Structure 1
């Protein structure tokens, strides 16, 4: 998938089929739209394009960072991704200017695919009805998708964010059609895990929403390989001065793995929660519990 950053770098593509939206989380509803863009482009020998925005126009907390989102989108098979930076200046672009100056003049789509609740332009002036008028004026076919539901639950990024923050990872995973996961970079830490006999990779999650504190059974995707692991999210209450941290630490012990991976990209998929975080009387007691956690992960049928 070719990625283009910025409006000025957009060029014309043959028979563009454009999926328009943020697509945070790339959940079931998003996949339906994106897969339709791919299949439609193939039918008309065109170009499947996603036009998306970063950062998220309506939320500081994202299910996926931009890099993670692009990673997930690329697996669906789109040809091109155009990323527009959503800054203060762009937020003042009117719905009409967005349609005429960016979508029509820069891309000139044959098909435009959106979710029915999609809004755009300054103060969210643009909606499906306005898109319908523009589609008639500029001669492109508009397809709007209803919100997907599983049972009575709407599949929406906002709802999924709330599920993750509440620790309801299995339910969030069903709406995402994959386990809840985070993409991050392995950073240098204080080597406390190594001291305890269970070395861990400290993860910088790139501003993604993370699950609540606790100890989780996970799968670790690293350099095209997959490992079982135990992920710790918390403030290390057993150790002095570490429980005062404002943000949770994210550490993962990768089973049967001993290489140096500082600076490497790592993707962590969350499965079952083993237990809550707690303070132990000593590092020795903590090490005994971690050993039990590791055995639990080893036995897990993932």
Structure 2
């Protein structure tokens, strides 16, 4: 998949089918929409194009209301590539773009810049200044331009529309399994491995402390996960939160990789969360904590083994 940071290399994206949006998390609703986009494009031998915005438009319009991200641009690109997208345009959001009316956006971006043969969107799509362009407006503009307009129905789960907002709510409640079901893939956290107090190693369970995590960090607790190290997938235990057993109040993100004893300091580590094992707890002392960690790791290994069996 080609990634363009803004417009310019027109030969790579003009004349295809286009989906426009933030695509945060690339969840099942996005995947349904992209599946239709790719089918239209590849049937006619033209590119399947996604236009997204980096940063999120709300960052400029109302910074205090900017939602925490579910995916970095790198992760978003990888997930969209897996869906069959040919070209991702990550437009560096600016005031000039945000000030375009719906009509201006359609004429200048969809028609003139992208020369789109069709537009594929979801039912909640809005575009143009003050979100003035609804799907009804889009359908009318596409009809006038003589291009396809397809509105793909939302995906629902337990009578709730799958959305980036509902996934954020699940993660903030520690409901990672529910978030995974809505995402259609594990929830990934990425960060730089930094030095810590070394308590994990003293307990016999060395951990990598992750800093500079750019996406939403779920509720406190212990999670089963898969760590990605040098293209190898390893079962991992992830602890999010403080360390009340040692009277440490700072919130941390610590990763223990099962069956690994290398040095990760200074490197970037990716972990895919699968499920929450328990909440953060205080123990009477190191021996009690060690016994609990042994039980946690046994359970985490079972969860990860089951996860791998499901995706084989």
TM-score, L = length of structure 1: 0.90
* 8 Å Cα contact 1:182/1:205 also seen in 2: no
1:254 corresponds to which of 240, 247, 257 = 257
Q: Structure 1, residues 1-53: CA drift from partner, whole Å, max 9, x if none?
A: 1111123x341445311111111111111001112222221110101111011
* 8 Å Cα contact 2:240/2:252 also seen in 1: yes
Q: Structure 1, residues 70-111: CA drift from partner, whole Å, max 9, x if none?
A: 121121121110011234454323222222222221111011
Query: What residue is the counterpart of 2:18 in the other structure?
Result: 18
1:71 corresponds to which of 69, 78, 103 = 78
Taking a change above 3 Å as real, the CA distance of residues 232 and 151 of structure 1, as seen in their structure-2 partners, is closer
Number of equivalences: 297
Q: Secondary structure at the match of 1:56?
A: coil
Equivalent-residue separation in structure 1 for 2:239 and 2:106 (angstroms)? 46
Query: What residue is the counterpart of 1:106 in the other structure?
Result: 113
Query: What residue is the counterpart of 2:61 in the other structure?
Result: none
Query: What stretches of structure 2 of length at least 5 have no aligned partner?
Result: 59-65, 307-312
Equivalent-residue separation in structure 2 for 1:119 and 1:178 (angstroms)? 26
Equivalent-residue separation in structure 1 for 2:266 and 2:75 (angstroms)? 16
Q: Structure 1, residues 225-284: CA drift from partner, whole Å, max 9, x if none?
A: 2111111001222334x30x3xx3111100011112234333322233222212234334
Taking a change above 3 Å as real, the CA distance of residues 140 and 204 of structure 1, as seen in their structure-2 partners, is farther
Cα RMSD of the aligned pairs, angstroms, is 2.1
* 8 Å Cα contact 2:238/2:256 also seen in 1: yes
Query: What residue is the counterpart of 1:5 in the other structure?
Result: 5
Runs of 4+ aligned structure 1 residues displaced above 6 Å come to none
Query: What residue is the counterpart of 1:37 in the other structure?
Result: 37
1:94 corresponds to which of 86, 95, 101 = 101
Q: Which moved more, 1:252-261 or 1:292-301?
A: 292-301
Query: What residue is the counterpart of 1:160 in the other structure?
Result: 167
TM-score, L = length of structure 2: 0.87
Query: What residue is the counterpart of 1:146 in the other structure?
Result: 153
